[in-house]
Structure 1
């Protein structure tokens, strides 16, 4: 399962958000830096109305959603790349995740300490990104030193060194590794380094409940910076989400209405993170169960079949497929077959998000 790491400075709302995400997680949220030391890990169901509609159509006895893993990582401080605070541990934990969910404090509260003594979300982002970049530079310098012995006799080492030099130039200019255009082969070469600034990122704008519906000046600044980076943002109030967990369905609706919003930002964050990781969903449906299966965008039908069982990929013959919209329009798999709407696809078929699939294979 791919993992998204929740990162940011201390006391920006990371653990509160994590607790809200996994509902029953035991991450301890408190009003002091480094409350989270060891990373907390929790899996979260992907909210998907398509799953519920297909289940209703098939009268399934069970619904099994897709899931994604979130990791709550210790707060970073200036100098983390040199070991300040919990820097080394923090950076090592980020290196192990596949995407970064960067929580940015966009609220004023004198009762919640800010590690810098003032609320400035753009400065917070700059501090975090600088430390990630410095850590990457350190990694690259060490790797290039080791490559020196191989460059004379290895073309692959020469190519890797050239790529790393490009990244160094970008980082030294204040950019990120993701700013460099790589081929698939080049990405494979540098993947073992686990470069932090190469990971996809989403900024979570953490607001007070009073500003959730209207936003504030902080939001505009973060949105501008994110746009410049080509990053996505999600608006959320971690505190509101934590309170929603304790309420029943009707109470939640009333509470959100009182804040001037129709829904919290939690579901948007989960879905946005899922897509940020390059994940998509196909479905299987029947009377026994309707299930969402997670696959990577760009997977072929045999690869997608292998997610269910390796035998399905090994003995793949073909896939029977229909989009979930078309299936719902037909009203049942039987009716869809009678209309000729179910397609037969071979080994080269690229599975699409929302496909309903049945695999035929040799044992």
Structure 2
């Protein structure tokens, strides 16, 4: 849509070079479609200029056209504000049922780089359209404090901002999905968590499936549970090490209480596969993928599995630490109607050897070593 009233002027729209006529079998009409210039020198677009020949150049407004756009106006015609000058068709080849959306869910949960990645701005500011660098369109974002950031948009991509627009950090400058790792670097982990939850929910909402946010939030929490150490300070960490957020906080609290320098770290986004392999339990990780590598690293580093999670307890045949399997329930004394104490479940299912009586035979019990 054009935002201004004026006369249409084609720019770099050359028949057979940047535009071709195609026959639409549905409507039975011919249409002009923008194609990619083989040399990369021409950048097709439409200029809306004032009808007054003496109008200054500031009254000329250019609309770049991406590859595949269908022209809706002819050169030299008059248009009014809100008139359609070109239509950008959406991809219609994708499956519209839930199976078409599941690859998008897998892409989000595995934290992969999107196929059609969008460039996002790192700062707040106003958009300035630059020239062309190596066939790519340069966009400059100028902040209020004078700071500038330059971004290059690939040729043929649809730019979603215009000259003078005000953008906020994290806003996409072109069509596509932002890289979640870039989103994390620009906006932080909280905003990334909201973005991931909303993107996953959007896939299911389109099919009328209602899922409580808490289920997706648990998965996203595990994906952002690790941080990468940047400065070790006086802690026992190593630069570049991936550690749990809670371990990082506890270690910093310990060194701060002693008046020493804490460590600094940045949040890291891990896909669900890598997050599962980086769990503290080597039994749980080995049962998932890369069993040989996980067990080898655990043996080399002398790891100890405290069996705190559900999965590792199920593997070794113990009660899971949930419900009546929690430690609080094992410390409750249960009496029969006759007043006889019932043996706790953790003793019934214990892997420890049975106690042996002392040689004196006075009825006391000593644990066998």
TM band (smaller chain): under 0.3
Q: Which has the larger radius of gyration?
A: 2
**Please, what TM-score do these two structures have when normalized by structure 2?**
0.22
**Please, what TM-score do these two structures have when normalized by structure 1?**
0.23
Using CA pairs under 8 Å that are at least 6 residues apart, name the structure with larger relative contact order, 1 or 2. Answer: 1
Structure with greater helix percent: 1
